[in-house]
Structure 1
Amino acid sequence: MVGPVVWSSELVVVSHQPVGMLGHLFVETRRHVATLDSLTVPEVEAVARAVRLVAMGLRAELAPEFVFSAVAGRQVAHFHQHVFVRHQGTPEALAWHEDWAEAPTGDVGALSTVLSRYF
C-alpha cells in the first residue's frame, strides 16, 4: 500500500498516492507478483473491477477532463495499476502521464473516504 487505503478485499488493495496530485490511486494485488501475466484469473477480475469503480468514483467526485489507467513501473517488482485523473485546465503541452504542478490538491484522506462509497 502506498497511501490511505480506499478499499480492500482478500485479493486487492486500493490506495491513494499520499502526496502530490489529488486523484492518483493505485490498485495492487495482495499477493506479491511482478507482472500482469503472473496474476491469477480471480486476481485479474478483482483488479479490473476495482479499476472500474475507482474510475467511476474519480469522475463523479473530481469531474476531471480524463481518467487514465496504466500498468507501468520498473522500480518495484510488485504488480500495481495506476488510476489517475487529468484535471480540467491541465495545459495541453503536458503529456497524458505528466503531473501538473498546479493541479488541485486537497485532503487525500477525505477523498479516500468518499471514494470508498463506490465499492
Structure 2
Amino acid sequence: MECLICAKHDGDGPLAGPVVFADELVVVSHRTGGALGYLFVETRRHVATLDALTVAEAEAVARAARLAAASLRAELDPEFVFTFVAGRSHAHFHQHVFARHRGTPDELPWHAEWAGAPTGDAAELCARLSPYFPPCCAPGR
C-alpha cells in the first residue's frame, strides 16, 4: 500500500496541495480545499511521533512551523495563528499551522472550520509565503 504522505510530497494523490517550502527533512504545504491559510509541516521520513524525530528533524519542524506562522500572519493578517501536532493516522509526523481569520464567530472553537472564511487561490498564497522560508534556514546551511 502506497503512503499517501509520500505521494503528497511527490505531488501526487488526493492530499497533494501547493508546496510552500521543502528540503531534505520537511515539507510545508497548503491543505487541499477549505479556507486559505491552513498549512501542514510534515517530515519526509516515516516517523509518526515527536519523540521519534532526530534532533535535526525536530529543529527543522520547529523552524518551519515558526516560519509558517510568521508568514501567515504577515500575508493574511489573521486574528490568530494556531498550531497543533497530530499523529497516528499517517506514518509522518505532521504539525498543523493555520490562520483563524478576522470575523470568525466567537462561539466557534479555535480549531473550527468557518464557512465565511476567506477562500482563494492556495497556490498563489503559497507563492507569497515561500520567500519567508529562505534557503539559509534549511538544516545544515
The list of structure 1 runs, each at least 4 consecutive aligned residues, that deviate by more than 6 angstroms after superposition, is none
Q: 2:63 aligns with which of 49, 62, 74?
A: 49
The residue type paired with residue 67 of structure 1 is V
Separation (CA, whole Å) in 2 of partners of 1:74 and 1:31: 15
Sequence identity of aligned pairs in percent? 69
User: 1:106 maps to what in 2?
Assistant: 120
2:101 to 79, 84, 87: 87
- Aligned pairs, number: 119
1:73 Cα deviation (Å)? 4.1
After superposition, where does 1:20-59 map in structure 2 within 5 Å?
20-59=34-73
Structure 2 unaligned spans of 5+: 1-7, 9-15, 134-141
- 1:95/1:73 CA distance change after superposition, 3 Å: farther
TM-score normalised over the length of structure 1: 0.96
* Normalised TM-score (structure 2): 0.81
C-alpha spacing 1:34/1:73, structure 2 compared with 1 (3 Å): closer
- Aligned match of 1:8: 22
Deviation of the 1:3 alpha carbon: 1.1
Distance 1:6 1:21 in 2: 16
